[in-house]
A and B are shown apart, each in its own frame.
Chain A
């Protein structure tokens, strides 16, 4: 897109949205948010960046092929379910650990891994669609 205002603002906007999407993802366990909505916000960031600076730039920036990102997400989600085999509890049971990092207790769980997987599936699948649509549409 030609508009210089848009081109200047887009990187900041995209970066901010990315950050916000991760915030929404992590917030999702107990409050509104989560992997799906976080993923959609992240894809909007990529789409905006793509409109401003071209799809090729976005593809370079995310490094992996979008479908590979989606595959990684699906894999993470499945693994999150399988971890419970070691705790002798049924598939998909939420397991928590509370490691202490620099004196701060950080709750980590398989639920979060699952949600991150959802986030990656959404980012991968929807950005794959969005980027190829932008490629066809943007002459």
Chain B
């Protein structure tokens, strides 16, 4: 209720009185848009025929919003909007820098590709189970995690995306899916709890949750506060989310059970949110602690890569192989974080973006392969090349991309990481990166040789050329071409990633965006 005060209160001490400009709205729009559309789709549950159309249109809009956001951030530097006009650190800030904007855009592209692929993969019962609302709410969580500038808010977006991912995992309620979901759910809840404990601890130490505020206060508190413990907890929590060794076992155990498009989405988005959070916390907020932990991170990274790729070599199920390859990629990103510096962090960011596109594409390929060959094991899957040569060519390109061969997108991050590792004298890490690239080549080569090139043992009538719908082949082709384009002409992205990494290492622009002209001390 409005209470009339005798003297006018000085609002400028607590509230932002300048009008918010339209571009600032770009910062919160991805999240608000996904939430609103998701809510609308929940209400329109019955109109299952209408759902894909609405979802695809709004995912396209999401991509456009993210493009505009990236363009704005690339031109004008980090941008902040604080909820409800309260001045930071009290209002919850959404702060977008180049790293966040790049991740958000690639996530939106992956979601759009998955939305199109879902036309071929999600049937009417899947629609009535709520695939599209869950997809939009998942994107709200993912976008929120990439765009927020408040560490507790980051936790909230983790929860949002986790709850949506539970729904997507059990879509169909098959026995295997429930088994996978329990493993996935339990491990992720433990990780989320650790994240929450760490955040409570951080709040007790810093008295603030705003990331910019934490970054500028860390230097003064380092003498007395147990920051190493804090960062250790965060690394454990995010490492679990990102499926880092030795906490990687949940990923291959659950990613092969849901619908293909759901696996593809998860492989593209979820572990990368963990990596993004790890980069944000270790590189921007606590750089000195990251330096201290770098050997542990490097060791974990190297082991994750190795375990991942050896797992991929041992498996026969198409999607399980891919699950292990996702884990192996996470190892390379961790190695980048451990190396640090513009080369290491830039390499980790580039690798994450590349992995989002390529792993999603490979999961699409596994879905098409399973439909063409009516099987998911590469021991029995054969002759896909004869059935659809174009599809086989696309898969081969993705296999090259994931192994880090030129001229595909996997090549450049690998070059950056190996060079950065040699620069700091970590020859063993460089060797591990190269060895893993070689093993990945063998693993994907084995996949291609057995499932695609080998003729089926028993010639069947259905072995002739097969037709594929545009909804299935289109997104696969689009992601492959994007990987090819980034491999052939990486300059613009490389430039952006370099300045993103520089912005993380020296976050003064980020701080200025939240606290203009110093702000309240």
Interface residues, chain A, with chain B CB atoms under 8 Å away: 29-30, 65, 67-68, 70-75, 78-79, 81-82, 84-85, 88-94, 96, 98, 107
Contacts and interface: CB of A to CB of B under 8 A. Distances in A.
Given A81-B32, A91-B83, A107-B1, A71 B40 contact: yes
A68 B85 contact: no
16 contacts: A67-B42, A67-B45, A67-B130, A71-B133, A78-B35, A78-B36, A88-B19, A89-B19, A89-B20, A89-B85, A90-B24, A90-B82, A90-B84, A91-B28, A93-B85, A96-B2
B43 interface: yes
Nearest to A70: B42
A78 B20 CA distance: 18
A92 B94 CA distance: 12
B85 A71 contact: no
Interface in B68-89: 81-85
A82 B2 contact: no
Given A90-B16, A92-B83, A82 B32 contact: yes
A76 to B, nearest CB: 8
B39 interface: yes
A107 B2 contact: yes
A74 B38 contact: yes
B32 A91 contact: yes
B25 interface: yes
Contacts of B25: 85, 91
A96 B2 CA distance: 10
B313 to A, nearest CB: 44
Interface of B: 1-2, 16, 19-20, 24-25, 28, 32, 35-36, 38-43, 45-46, 81-85, 94, 130, 133
A75 B25 CA distance: 18
B228 to A, nearest CB: 36
Contacts of B24: 90
Contact of B43 (A30, A75, A82, A88): A75
A133 B83 CA distance: 38
B39 A72 contact: yes
Nearest to B38: A74
Contact of A75 (B28, B36, B85): B36
Contacts of B38: 74
A74 B20 contact: no
Contacts of A84: 20
Contacts of A75: 36, 39-40, 43
B58 to A, nearest CB: 13
Contacts of B94: 91
Q: Report the 4 A-B pairs with minimum CB-CB distance, sorted nearest first.
A: A71-B42, A74-B39, A75-B39, A88-B19
Contact of B45 (A65, A90, A98): A65
A100 to B, nearest CB: 14
Contacts of A90: 16, 20, 24, 81-85
A15 to B, nearest CB: 26
A123 B342 CA distance: 50
Contacts of B84: 90-94
A17 B440 CA distance: 63
Given A90-B81, A90-B83, A107-B2, A74 B45 contact: no
Q: Identify the interface centre among A67, A70, A71: most chain B CB within 10 Å of its CB.
A: A71
A46 B42 CA distance: 21
B230 to A, nearest CB: 29
Given A74-B38, A90-B85, 8 more contacts: A65-B46, A67-B45, A71-B133, A75-B39, A90-B16, A90-B24, A91-B28, A91-B32
A79 B2 CA distance: 23
Residue of A29, A81, A91 ringed by the most chain B CB atoms within 10 A: A91
Contacts of B16: 90
Nearest to A91: B28
A79 to B, nearest CB: 7
A71 B43 contact: yes
B431 to A, nearest CB: 49
Nearest to B36: A78
A68 B43 contact: yes
A82 to B, nearest CB: 6
A68 B81 CA distance: 31
Nearest to B94: A91
Which of A72, A78, A82, A90 has the most B CB atoms < 10 Å from its CB?
A: A90
Contacts of A93: 83-85
A90 B82 CA distance: 7
A71 to B, nearest CB: 3
B94 to A, nearest CB: 8
Most chain B C-beta atoms within 10 Å of own C-beta, residue among A65, A68, A89, A94: A89
B28 A74 contact: no
A133 to B, nearest CB: 17
A78 B40 CA distance: 11
A67 B42 CA distance: 7
A79 B36 contact: yes
Contacts of A79: 36
B190 to A, nearest CB: 24
Contacts of B36: 75, 78-79, 82
B173 to A, nearest CB: 14
A11 B179 CA distance: 42
A90 B18 CA distance: 10
A98 B4 CA distance: 14
Contacts of B83: 90-93
Contacts of B81: 90-91
A3 B335 CA distance: 68
A89 B133 CA distance: 29
